[in-house]
Structures are given as structure tokens and as C-alpha cells.
A = this chain, B = another copy of it.
Amino acid sequence: MPSVKRIDHVAVVVDDIESALEFWRDGLGLEVTHVEDVPDMQSIVAFLSTGDSELELVKPTDEDSGIARFLKERGTSMHHICLEVDNIEHFIQRMQTLGIRLINSEPVVGTGGKLIAFIHPESTQGVLVELYELTGQEPEIRLARARALADRAISGGKAVASAVLGFLRRLRRSGSDDD
């Protein structure tokens, strides 16, 4: 029987990742494990390790995105909870059978290269829930996305490049160097 394996991460929408890190990284001592540009979600995300799970800071990169609207309406706050499942197709079918509204009725590739599907808060009493399944393709996809972030920095010219690099350097101040 397919099941929920664990809380993978809890996402928090912020308007400034660096100042959010003053609490999560400097206050709680959580380590920044990776930073990622997610064009599909019009956001930059930073993950911090909390043992077997993660805390995700999400900063909108486009004022017209859903994330940006969420931030405008609710302010910085928890945005979604992500649960790891062992068979995402099974859960999607089960939700559909139960009449639970899905944002993704087909799995899509989300942050970290994971296969994900969001469940609509309308069917969960207000909680945006992300389900994901590991597929083994994640390292490859993460590499491609890190390259995209670097490309954006390079093609943006010197000013953009140094801003992005400075940002990454500051994020990593107390983060790991091997990711």
C-alpha cells in the first residue's frame, strides 16, 4: 500500500532571503544546503537542513507570480508543506477518486528535480500540500538548474553576475561548500 514517508520540507515565503537567514541560519544554526533558481515557480529558493527534512525559503522573482501575490496578501508566512510519498501516481488517482482538487493532475518536475504534484488548499482546508516522489533523476536536473542560474548571471552582464555571486556567497557564509 503506497504511503506518506515523511515531511520533506516546509516552505516559507519571504521577501528577502538574506534577512530571513538571520533567524533560520544565524539564530537556529540551520545550514544552507542549496540555492536554486526555479523559473517555473518564478522564484529563487534556499534550502536549510533540519535533520532528515528541510526548511525552504522562497523569494518571488516576478511580481505577477502566484508566490508574489501570496506574499502581498498574507505577508511572509508558511506557504506549503511537502510530503514524500512512494508512489505519486497512486496518490494523484486516490485524490481524484475522492474528489480532492489537484493543482497538478499530472506530476511535474519541481525544486531539486523531484517529481511533484500540488494539492489545492480548497480541498485541504487551506493548506497547500505538495507531494513528491524520488526518481533518481534529481542530481542531473539540479546540475542543469545551477547552470541556468550561472548563465543568467553571466548573460546579465557584470552587475547582475556580481549581485548573484555576492548573494550566493552570503547565503553560504555558514552553509556547506560541497553542494
Contact flag A126-B75 (CB < 8 Å), given A4-B29, A4-B50, A81-B10: yes
Q: Which of A68-117 contact B (CB under 8 A)?
A: 74-78, 81, 83-84, 91, 94-95, 98, 100
Contact partner of A78 among B76, B98, B127, CB < 8 A? B127
Measured in the bound complex, the distance between the Cα atoms of B51 and A29 in whole Å is 24
Measured in the bound complex, the distance between the Cα atoms of B23 and A110 in whole Å is 23
* A residues in contact (CB < 8 Å) with B: 1-7, 10, 12, 14, 19-20, 23-24, 26-30, 50-53, 55, 74-78, 81, 83-84, 91, 94-95, 98, 100, 123-127
| Extra A-B contacts (14), CB below 8 Å, given A7-B10, A7-B53, A74-B74 | A1-B29, A4-B30, A4-B51, A6-B50, A6-B51, A6-B52, A7-B7, A7-B50, A10-B78, A12-B125, A27-B94, A27-B98, A76-B126, A78-B127
10 interchain residue pairs of minimum CB distance: A6-B51, A76-B125, A76-B126, A77-B126, A78-B78, A7-B53, A23-B124, A5-B51, A7-B50, A75-B126
